[in-house]
A = this chain, B = another copy of it.
């Protein structure tokens, strides 16, 4: 919910790449993990941070867990940046 949490989530390259992967649609944890050279536990850790930052949304089907982008938070972030750039209230 807080910008701190969100920017922190985005500050890690693995997490940014996960988000980029999710652009093409939702993906299971295993599928996400197959794109990286790290253990499933580590992927799970990164996903939990993205989830806490509300940047992704999770759903379960059979014994798979799927993640997908949550773009609404991305918009809030853009609004913050836009305000920084252009806002003019003292």
Residue ranges of A at the interface with B (Cβ–Cβ < 8 Å): 3-4, 7-8, 10-13, 16, 19-20, 23-24, 69, 71, 74-75, 77-78, 81-82, 84-88, 90
Contact = CB atoms under 8 A, between A and B. Distances in A.
Contact of A81 (B8, B77, B85, B90): B77
> How many protomers of this protein does the assembly include?
2
A8 B68 CA distance: 23
A74 B78 contact: no
Contact of A7 (B11, B87, B88): B11
Contacts of A85: 69, 71, 74-75, 78
A23 to B, nearest CB: 6
B7 A10 contact: yes
